[in-house]
Structure formats: C-alpha cells, structure tokens
Amino acid sequence: MEEFLFISPFNADVRVASPGRINLIGEHTDYNLGYVLPTAIDKKIYFELKKNGSPSTCNILSETFNSRLSFDLNNFEKSQVTWENYILGVVNEIQKKGKFLQGFDCKINSKLPIGAGISSSAALECGLAAGLNELFDLELTKEEIVILSQAAENNFVGSNCGIMDQYASVMSKKEHLILLDCLSLEAEFIPANFKTCKMLLIDTKVSHSLADGEYNSRRKECETALAIFQKNDTAIQSLRDVNLATLEKYKTQLSEKEYNRVLYVLQENKRVLKGSELLKTGKLEDFGELMYQSHTGLRDLYEVSCPELDFLVNYTKGKNYIYGSRMMGGGFGGCTINIMEESKIEKFSLEVSQAYSAEFGITPDTITVTPGEGTFVERL
C-alpha cells in the first residue's frame, strides 16, 4: 500500500482491534431505553495510529476501501463520503469535550462485512476513539468512549442510533453475552453457553430503502407515541414505563403504526428479560422460540424486515438442528442470526445458499461467529 499520504514512514505508536457486534434479541429497544442482549464478535476492524508532528493535519488511510482522508483539526465539516463522517464525528466529539488533539496518521483495515448488520460503524467509531484516547493520553473512561462514539453517530453522521452497538463493541467480555439496561447502563454478563451449538450469520447482501432513513422514522414514531403518553401521565419517562394496560388505555390517541411500534417494543423487552433467564439455564430451544417471535414482531409490528430476511428465517423452520432465527440489526437487509448445531453448519450453509440464490439471484455470505472481547488497545 502506498505511503505518500503520510508525513513520515508509518511506524505506529498505538494499535487497536475493535470488534463488530451481534445482538441475540432486543432489536430497536435500545433507543427506547429498554433491554438488549448483544456481545462483541471475533471479527474486527484494526487500526494503527501515530502522531505525525503536525499541529493539526490528520491523515486517514482505509486499506479496505483504498480510500484516503486528510483534514485539519481546526477546520473540517461533514463529508459526502459516509465512512469519513464516522471518523470526523469522533474527532468532533472529542474536541467538544475540551480534549486536546494534534496531527495524527491512522491506517484502518476492516475484517467486518459492510452492511451485514454487525455494526461496523460502531466498531469504527469506538476503535478510533479508543486509539486517540491512548495516543494523546486523553484519560477517557470506557463508558465515556461509548457515549462519545454514539454521539458522533447521532450528531455528525445523522443516524439516531441507541447505545447498544457502541456499548457492546467496547465493553464485551469473551464468551459472554451482555444483558444491558439501556436506561441505567447497568450490565449483567451472562456466560455464552451454547453447548454443541454455534451462531451462524447469513448475510442477505441487500439493503433496501436506505435503512438509516427508515431507522430514524421508526424512532420518531416511538417518540411521537411517547409524547402522547407523557401528556396524559407525567410519570412516564420512556416506553419502558408503559405497560400493556396503559397502551390500551390511550390506543385511540395513537395511529395504528404508533400503536404497533409501541406494542412491539413492550413485547420485545419482555422477550429479552425472559430470554436471558433461559440462556442462564441452557434452554436453547425455548430461547430460540423467542427469536422467532422477535422476527415476527419486527416483520409485522415494526415493519423493518424484507422478503430476503423473511425467506432466510422461514427456511430454518422445521429443522430440528436449528433452535432459533431472526433478522438482526436495523432491518431492510443485513443478516439473520441463527443458533444451530455446529456439526450441521457446513451442510446447511451450502443448502440455504443454493435456495436463496435460486429465489433471489444472490449468493449470500454465511459467517460463523463467537462472542469476543471488546475493543483492545496496545501501545507499541
């Protein structure tokens, strides 16, 4: 790879490995301050960073895209190139906190599939924030890195994401899942005891109707419904304070869509809490049934699925070696997550790939993942 972008030969001062994440259950509940069950995975974005001696010139090389970005710390604005805004957003949030940065060079190499719904964006944000924290001795805590990275995506990128992706990318523990309360940020680490099973992701390789816009509209619908509840009951702070009785009480004040969105969120929060207890006792079949229920809710009530995702979930049904399947991520594409017997993965992957290709003319990617460690930083 050419080095001409950088001010001097690249000898990194800091290395970072920042993982993608999966979410077993609890989709679209984080920005409603509910519960989620994510973990980092063993697929990561890698960073090399160094100070370059300049007061304010920063140079970024994405080896994955063979793309380059240079900007001045004292004068930059939103880019037309999506991945650049994750970088600029993190720098912007660090400087808003009054932390002092100087010119730096950074190489980025991603081993995460883009658009698969495993949150390459959060891995990019958190990895850079953690690297700059180490490089410039900013003394940011892990929780501050999480919140700062979420703010970068909200404020600079313009995606109104919740806290789950960034939290999982930074805070995860190897071979554990995180039961995360997105209101208090209290977390319980649950051993990922899948016995003879593994998690298989199947990437649809499609993205419909620019998911970010639809994602933001779903959040807006939930916020509109919340405002109606709050007008009637000032004790309600978020949708987690709403129960089914309250929802039915004010149903006539909600649109059908708003009612459905809230109903889904209430049901999904219950599934997360119930599912966490099932995993603690190793009841994978019962947990898998909750995954199927989650997908049905995402498809029918939250309306964020698509024909490709539905096909992949439906294809798993009736196979006794697959315990659960659902769409994962924001929706309208991305991947499904499946809990299944490890011994069957190779054969099933070939079978489902052929069926999906015959249906849609697309060859999906299949990815086996394991629960991994959060963002790792090393000073060289």
The two three-digit tokens of residue 81, written as one number: 């190139």
CA distance 106 to 124: 12
CA dist list (Å): 346 to 196, 270, 342 = 14, 33, 8
Judge contact between 135 and 67, C-beta under 8 A: no
Handedness of CA 171, 173, 175, 176 (dihedral sign): negative
Cα of 315 vs its chain's centroid, Å:
25
Q: Could you write out the DSSP letters of every residue in 351-372?
A: HHHHHHHHHHS---EEEEE-B-
Judge contact between 102 and 10, C-beta under 8 A: no
Q: Could you write out the DSSP letters of every residue in 76-115?
A: ----SSHHHHHHHHHHHHHHHTT-----EEEEEEE-SPTT
Q: Which of 186, 178, 154 is nearest to 33 (CA)?
A: 186
Q: Point out the residues that are catalytic.
A: 165
Q: Is 345 left (phi over 0), alpha (psi -120 to 50) or beta?
A: alpha
The two three-digit tokens of residue 331, written as one number: 């929706």
CA distance 114 to 5: 24
The two three-digit tokens of residue 191, written as one number: 């051993």
Residue 371: what are its φ and ψ, rounded to 5°?
-65, 125
Q: Which helix (H) or strand (E) holds 232?
A: helix 211-232
Q: Which of 265, 268, 270 is nearest to 247 (CA)?
A: 265
CA distance 12 to 16: 11
CA distance 208 to 187: 33
Residue 367: what are its φ and ψ, rounded to 5°?
-135, 120
The two three-digit tokens of residue 39, written as one number: 């973990």
